[in-house]
Amino acid sequence: MFQLAQVNVGTNGSTLIGIFYLLLAAIYIFLMIGWLVLRKNTLTLWVRLIYIFQGVLIPVIMLASGIILMIHG
């Protein structure tokens, strides 16, 4: 009754963009953490919270879109 969906992972454009997004999301997380560690004493609490929120939200969106592009490519 239920069939598994086919996953097309090849070397077409959308798959390559998806892989690029996955790599970029991982790099973004490490760069954001490094930047926050270097400037932790000079930032106020609200600015730090905004950067942490941004450092969590953007990679999640990039990872999700990268996975979608890679699977549906």
Q: Return the higher-pLDDT residue of 1 and 69.
A: 69
H-assigned helices in the chain: 13-38, 45-72
Q: What is the pLDDT of residue 2?
A: 58
Would you say residue 1 has pLDDT above 60?
A: no
Instruction: Kindly report the pTM of this predicted structure.
Output: 0.69
Q: Report pLDDT digits (tens) over 12-37.
A: 788 888 888 889 988 988 988 888 88
Q: What is the pLDDT of residue 27?
A: 92
Q: CA-CA-CA-CA torsion for 32, 34, 40, 45, nearest 10 degrees?
A: 20
Q: Report pLDDT digits (tens) over 35-70.
A: 888 887 888 889 888 888 888 888 888 888 888 888
Q: How far apart are CA 66 and CA 73, in angstroms?
A: 10
